[in-house]
Chains A and B, each alone.
Chain A
Amino acid sequence: MFPIEKIRADFPILQTKVYNKPLVYFDNAATTQKPKQVIQAISTYYEKENCNIHRGVHFLSVKATEAYEEARCAIRDFIGAKHAHEIIFTRGTTEAINLVAYSFGKKYISAGDEVITSVMEHHSNFVPWQQMCLEQKATLKFIPLLEDGSLDIPAFRNLISEKTRLVAITHISNVLGTINPIEKIIAIAHEKDIPVLVDGAQSVAHTTVDVQSLDADFYCFSGHKMYAPMGIGVLYGKEHWLEEMPPYQMGGEMIKEVFFTHTTFNELPFKFEAGTPNVEGVLGLHTAIRYMLDTGMDRIEGYEQELLDYATQRLLGIEGLKIYGTAKHKASLISFLMHGIHPYDAGMIIDKLGVAVRTGHHCAMPLMEYLHIPGTIRASFAFYNTKEEIDRLVEAVVTAKEMLL
């Protein structure tokens, strides 16, 4: 039995009432809620451990530095990286991708080169590449989709050319829920020695990720979508790429020696961590990972799939409702529209009934254009959600439909 009562009790915000109704939180793909263990870790840090790391010789600094570096090792193990120094702390997925777009782009991409991404990308795995390509006079190419919202792999093969320098692809679509066959994509790209960056923002909280068995060159994710605080994220990069790439931001911590005329840079991972880091975020992330591992990634995944199946079946029972994203391998989120109803209208009424869903383009405007829709209503689940809550969503959707049609 999945210990749902115990888990729910760990997330204080789930007791909140909105508009006098118990909150149903189905906007987990935007950000997840935090367990009290994570909240506690942050307060404990500021109450008992706060100080700047890697700099002082005093007691607190040594302790905080140890805790910070222990977290790096825990993340290495969590995603199956080879070395702790392949784990770079960033503000989030967005910054991790920007780092690679800037640094890798500067060194390896020049006029006439090509980068491949897909039409299903979140803006954060789209705009950095688009802008970098514009700057370097390179071309950005897009993998199209099949009818069910999965990637067209033969089309991807055809996009690869002698000029391709990088493939940047999401692991799980934040709109369609599609779990992309990234192992296969990476294998195809590696046939031609093309490195692959994976946007893992939607995956690390929901499934086990092993960057070495995937053979990903870069893997990025955000803490706040995996029960950790906001403002902390991770860039994993294979050692040799990170060694070769130039620094992204300059300042303290990332230097070895500074002279009036030049500077030598610190070794990995510090070369990419300029300035005072987000220590509370790193410790919170470590605690969140511990929480997930204690619950069990396989159990989380199994339970969330159950929620997905139940919600899919219940929502499809509503006449005129269409689900966008029906791939065989899907993560626990559902995007849908009702015939003749604007997603904003439905979203407003669903919200008034105490159910938090997301409406709009979900930071994937190119995908909306591709699908010819103004946006969708998206319900995204986490392991603290229940089938009873899905019933509340279905009731709310039916009410919205009755009011709006």
Chain B
Amino acid sequence: MTISEIEAEIVSEFSLFEDWMDKYNYLIELGKSLPVIDPKYKTEQYIISGCQSQVWLHAEYREGKVVYTADSDAIITKGIVSLLIRVLANQSPKDIVEANLDFIDTIGLREHLSPTRSNGLNSMIKQMKLYAVVFQQKYGERS
């Protein structure tokens, strides 16, 4: 699936929920089911700055696609990371760099985060895209 197809899928899932408590419950479930990150990446080097709860993010390049793994000590944050990974993982660096990620505003995620959390969300997206930029430069146009 393309990034925009996955975004549309998430938007339709969120439209089923009546209020934000249900949405939080869903984020919590997503957080709990996020695959675990290799403990060797849970170090200072992989921490995303700007998040009030700790987020560790790692990415690698496999056959033209970017594979992300992440973790957080806060479960709702983990749920949000899991949404981002679902949208951006296994996509080409070029598509990741160009992604608009409109679904975040469409599902109203940002307005339900405090400003500090919202900054944390921006930092996460920025870091995910940075990895993609680096892979794009490293592996050239075929990505």
Residues of A within 8 A of B (CB): 19, 341-342, 344-345, 348-349, 351-352, 360, 374, 403-404
Contact = CB atoms under 8 A, between A and B. Distances in A.
Given A360-B52, A374-B53, A344 B21 contact: no
Nearest to A374: B73
Nearest to B120: A344
A345 B54 CA distance: 12
A342 B75 CA distance: 7
B24 A344 contact: no
- Which one of A19, A345, A349, A404 has the highest number of Cβ atoms from chain B below 10 Å of its Cβ? A345
B130 interface: no
A327 B96 CA distance: 53
Nearest to B51: A344
A404 B114 CA distance: 19
B21 A345 contact: no
B124 interface: no
Contact of B53 (A344, A349, A403): A344
Nearest to A399: B21
Main secondary structure of the interface of B (DSSP, over half): helix
Contacts of A404: 28, 75
A222 B3 CA distance: 51
A352 B74 contact: no
A348 B75 contact: no
Contact of A403 (B28, B74, B114): B28
25 contacts: A342-B74, A342-B77, A344-B52, A344-B74, A344-B76, A345-B28, A345-B53, A345-B75, A345-B76, A345-B77, A348-B24, A348-B76, A348-B114, A348-B117, A349-B21, A349-B24, A352-B112, A374-B53, A374-B54, A374-B73, A403-B24, A403-B25, A403-B28, A404-B28, A404-B75
A169 to B, nearest CB: 28
A320 B19 CA distance: 28
Contacts of B112: 352
Interface string B47-77: 0000011100000000000000000011111
A156 B21 CA distance: 48
Interface residues of B, number: 16
Contacts of A341: 75
Contacts of B54: 374
A370 to B, nearest CB: 19
B111 to A, nearest CB: 12
A397 to B, nearest CB: 15
5 closest A-B pairs (Cβ-Cβ)? A342-B74, A344-B74, A344-B53, A345-B76, A345-B74
Contacts of A374: 53-54, 73
Nearest to B20: A352
A372 to B, nearest CB: 13
B73 A342 contact: yes
B21 A352 contact: yes
Contact of A344 (B25, B28, B77): B77
B113 to A, nearest CB: 8
Interface in B2-17: none
Interface in B115-143: 117
Given A345-B53, A345-B74, A348-B76, 12 more contacts: A19-B20, A342-B53, A342-B74, A342-B77, A344-B77, A344-B117, A345-B75, A349-B24, A352-B20, A352-B24, A374-B73, A403-B25
Contacts of B28: 345, 403-404
B10 to A, nearest CB: 20
Contacts of B25: 403
A369 B115 CA distance: 24
B114 to A, nearest CB: 8
A360 B117 CA distance: 12
A344 B27 CA distance: 14
- Which one of B28, B75, B117 has the highest number of Cβ atoms from chain A below 10 Å of its Cβ? B75
A374 B74 CA distance: 10
Contacts of B21: 349, 352, 403
A349 B114 CA distance: 12
A19 B20 CA distance: 10
Contacts of B76: 344-345, 348
Nearest to B32: A404
A129 B54 CA distance: 29
Contacts of B73: 342, 374
Contacts of B114: 348, 351
Contacts of A349: 21, 24
A349 B20 CA distance: 10
B108 to A, nearest CB: 13
Interface string B21-39: 1001100100000000000
A19 B108 CA distance: 14
A237 B52 CA distance: 37
Contacts of A351: 114
